[in-house]
Structure 1
Amino acid sequence: MRKTILSLLGVLLIVGAYFLGQIIIEKNNRKRPTPEKVVKTVFIDTVQNSNVNIVIPANGSLVAKRRVELFSEVQGVFKTGNKLFRPGQEFRNGETLIRIDASEYYASVQSAKSNLYNSIAAIMPDLRLDFPEVYSKWQSYLNGFDLNKSTPKLPEMTSEKENFFITGRGIVSNYYSVKNLEQRLAKYNIKAPFSGILTEALVTEGSLIRNGQKLGEFIFPGVYEMEVALSKSYASLLNVGEKVDLNNIDKTETYSGVVTRVNGSIDATTQTITAFVEVKNESLKEGMYLEANLNAKQEPNAYEINRNLMLDGEQIFIVRDSILDIIDVQPVYFSDTKVVLKNIPNGTTILAKPIPGAYAGMLVKPFRSNVNEETNQEKLNK
């Protein structure tokens, strides 16, 4: 009897443990929630092919179109003038930039002029006797001879005998020697070839200037040129007279320029062609760095998009019935941020902004609105 009761209790205990375990297992088996299907909202554009202006970006620094490097052809001490020889100093056309002490050389010029005068005076008695018909013009020449002024031109010799007589006395050779000395004397004063400003001064008043020494640089402000190097593929697209839009690095100021010269040869090392853009503006300075946009040509039946929308293999995403798809395109020009494409049918719906993780067959929700893009982006972020 006792064994029977114990057996029944053991069976009941086993059955109870089994049912208790089932209850615990059912409580721990939670149902996984079904994930909601997320459909990304995307910005779209509708392609409408047209003529696209291909703009070639270039950059460079400005150089004054009229500039002179000042060198000395004589030697002497730099004398103080009416204006200091300093960078930023303005000079008018014909105004003296540099005066070099020429007192010693001036004395030698005056001596040569005096010798010429004496040589002509010495032949006057012979001219009166042998060539009375030319005596008066040579007498007038002596009367107008001033040692403090430039040597006047010799009277024109009208006969062969007169020519032989004057030349045989060494008058002509002395005259040209004096004129040569006078030309060199003029080099002791360096005058401004045009109205402008001094941008570099390598000497100061009182310093000794040597022959061949560089003294500074002088420019005409307001008219500058910018040299730009472009790929040889654009050689046939550049035309003299082409209008160019320029801006500074900060893109706060814009200027208008024109292509004035195009180099006729291509650099063999870099395979680039050089063009020169002229720009006029009083606010510009030499050495200023500018960016230029050259209008190369118009590409017909093309469309322009951002470069980050291009896929590897010359493909782009399009939207068909709210599903992303991929088509092949033909890029014809790349810039830093844009790409010009062909072979896109009119009316094709393409992405206006890239989507992270996009793939062909992805379900999307097209979004097109006229409101500000920043507001649209805020909505998508939410």
Structure 2
Amino acid sequence: MKRTIMPVIVISILAIGMIGMLVLSSMKEEPRKQTPPPRIKVVNSIVTESVNNPTVIEAFGRLTSSQPIALISEVNGTIEKGKISFQPAQSFNKGDLIVKIDDRQTKFQLNQTKSDFLSALAVVLPEIKIDFPDEYDKWQNYFNSISFDEEIPELPNAANQKVKLFLTRFNVYKLYFSIKNLEITLEKHYFYAPFSGTVQSADLREGSTARVGSKLGDIINLEDMEVEISLPVTDVKWIDYSKQVKITSNQISGTWDGKIKRISDVVDNQNQTVTAYISIPNRKGLFNGIFLKAEIPGKILDDSFSIPRKSIYSDEYVYLIKNGKLDYRKVEIARKETERVLVSDGITNGDTLVTELMQGVSSGMLAKPIL
């Protein structure tokens, strides 16, 4: 009997102890949950200031000659050396004989026609002396002035219709204009430099045979160089034509002054740009074809705010810090440039503007500026 009672008593004591512990633990006060401090966004900022901002238009283009000329033969013959050797990169001065095409046949034909012309005059002169003595000296002097080595002088005016009839009957007029035509043909055998420049290419060299229509090569004017650039149509209205354009190159150190020379009236359909040409009066140190950067001074935008481009959200919004909180503000953008944006409305003097790109933020969030 005693053996049966003892286990019951032990189990009862243990059960009462467990119940007591549970009751005591339920009576213990739970610790309070601590609320985390509010999160403050620390951002780079500037204090805005309204000033008169000069604008700048940046563009890129290549330096080229404003007068590239293709030399095309209008006569047949063998190419001969002029004053210079006709080959690429060969420089020349204005008036130099760049290249020559064999002119012997044309000279012979010209002198033959002059001989026929003199013969015709020799037949007419006695007739004029007898019938029109007042006209004789004029035509005799003209006959004496003709040379085989010089251009034919201008034909005297035949005031008397009968004299003109004599001249026509003996083909004087016909032969005169044949000579003038051959003189023009003779000039086409010589290519004189219309400017100081260089030979850009030589398709045919000395000793080659040129045909009518053959391209001999290309020459360029080094006295008149210009930079060809493309400008967005929206930038054209900002150009200040009274100021010098700053020209630089990432290949050659130095700065050159330029001037807007002309702007095309035709818009590129794909890019919506127009072509502008900038002349460089002093191109020392620059080479034809080099890639250049042009900084074109623009008009001044009065009472505007210059802010970094990365400050703009959705093309027309900025974040300001007002009373320690972010304020999402719509602004009016007057002009966008490479590194900055000019704002004309939506910001006031003394505003604290966020100047960095933020993600996962919203208006009303606590913020602290780093100025």
**Structures share fold, TM-score greater than 0.5:** yes
Q: How does 1:210-221 map to 2 (within 5 A)?
A: 210-221=211-222
Q: Write the deviation string for residues 121-175 of structure 1: whole angstroms up to 9, x where unpaired.
A: 2233333333333333433333332212222333443544333322332212211
Q: 51-60 vs 209-218, which deviates more?
A: 51-60
- Mapped to 2, the partners of 1:252 and 1:359 lie a distance apart of 47
The alignment partner of 2:4 has SS state of helix
* Separation of aligned partners in 2, 1:123 and 1:313: 90
Separation (CA, whole Å) in 2 of partners of 1:102 and 1:15:
137
- Distance across 1 between alignment mates of 2:86 and 2:113: 33
1:343 aligns with 2:346: yes
CA contact (8 A) 2:324 2:367 kept: yes
Deviations 1:179-221 (A, max 9, x none): 1101101111111111111112211111121212222221221
Which region of structure 1 is more displaced relative to structure 2, 269-278 or 346-355? 269-278
Match of 1:324 among 321, 326, 341: 326
- In the alignment, which of 277, 283, 291 is matched to residue 289 of structure 1? 291
Q: Which amino acid aligns with 2:357?
A: P
Greater shift, 308-317 or 235-244, is seen at 235-244
The amino acid that maps onto 1:365 is K
8 Å CA contact 2:240, 2:299 repeated in 1: no
1:228-258 alpha-carbon deviations (Å, 9 max, x no partner): 3434444544465553233335695433221
Q: Separation in 2 of the partners of 1:52 and 1:188? A: 59
Aligned partner letter, 1:114: S
- 2:244 match: 243
CA RMSD of aligned residues (A): 3.3
Query: In structure 1, what residue type is equivalent to 2:307?
Result: I
1:115-264 superposed matches below 5 A: 115-238=116-239, 240-249=241-250, 253-264=254-265
Cα gap change, 1:204 to 1:32, in 2 (>3 Å) = farther
CA contact (8 A) 1:52 1:299 kept: yes
User: What SS does the aligned partner of 2:264 have?
Assistant: strand
In the TM superposition, residue 112 of structure 1 has moved relative to its aligned partner by 0.9
Corresponding residue for residue 366 of structure 1: 369
Cα distance in 1, alignment partners of residues 271 and 322 from structure 2 = 45
1:222–1:283 contact (8 Å) kept in structure 2 = no
Give distance in 2, aligned partners of 1:95 and 1:18.
122
Using the alignment, how far apart are the partners of 1:282 and 1:138 within structure 2?
A: 57
Aligned to 1:50: 51
Deviation at 1:271, TM superposition (A): 4.5
SS at match of 2:248: strand
Q: Deviations over 1:327-372 (max 9, x none)?
A: 221122223432221221111111233344443333333223xxxx
Deviation, structure 1 residue 304 = 1.9
Larger CA deviation: 81-90 vs 257-266: 257-266
Does the 8 A contact of 1:239 with 1:259 survive in 2? Answer: no
In structure 2, what is the equivalent of residue 26 of structure 1? none
Cα drift, residue 12 of structure 1: 6.3
Q: 1:359 to 1:270 in 2, by over 3 A?
A: closer
In 1: Cα distance, 2:299 partner to 2:182 partner: 59
Specify the alignment match of 1:353 in structure 2.
356
Alpha carbons of 1:250 and 1:81: their partners in 2 closer, same or farther (altered >3 Å)? closer
> For the structure 1 residues 265 and 312, does the alpha-carbon distance in structure 2 shift closer, same or farther, using more than 3 Å as the test?
closer
Alpha-carbon separation, structure 1, partners of 2:69 and 2:4 = 128
Q: Is the 8 A contact 1:238 1:262 kept in 2?
A: no
Moved more, 106-115 or 144-153: 144-153
Shift of 1:67: 2.6
Check 1:350–1:207 CA distance in 2 against 1; reply closer, same or farther (3 A cut).
same
CA contact (8 A) 2:79 2:210 kept: yes
Provide Cα deviations, 1:75-110, integer angstroms capped at 9, x if missing partner. Answer: 111123342211110111111111111222222112
Are residues 282 and 9 of structure 1, via their aligned partners in 2, closer, same or farther at CA, if it must alter by over 3 Å?
A: same
Give me the whole-angstrom Cα distance separating, in 2, the residues matched to 1:267 and 1:325.
41
In structure 2, C-alpha distance between the alignment counterparts of 1:195 and 1:266, rounded to whole Å: 33
Residues 2-81 of structure 1 aligned to structure 2 (within 5 Å): 2-10=3-11, 39-81=40-82
TM-score in terms of structure 1 length: 0.82
Q: Which runs of 5+ in 2 are unaligned?
A: 23-30
- One-letter amino acid of the counterpart of residue 292, structure 2: L
Q: Which moved more, 1:319-328 or 1:155-164?
A: 155-164
CA drift at 1:287: 2.2
Deviation of residue 54 (structure 1)? 3.1
The match for 2:26 is none
| C-alpha distance in 2 between matches for 1:34 and 1:252 | 62
Report if the CA contact (8 A) 2:83-2:99 is conserved: no
The one-letter amino acid paired with 1:300 is D
Q: Return 5+ residue gaps in structure 1 as ranges.
A: 22-29, 369-382
Cα separation, 1, equivalents of 2:77 and 2:232 = 50
Q: What is the one-letter code of the residue matched to 1:65? A: S
Quick one: distance in 1 between partners of 2:195 and 2:291? 25
- 2: distance between equivalents of 1:161 and 1:255? 69
Aligned residues: 362
CA distance in 2, matches of 1:245, 1:68: 28
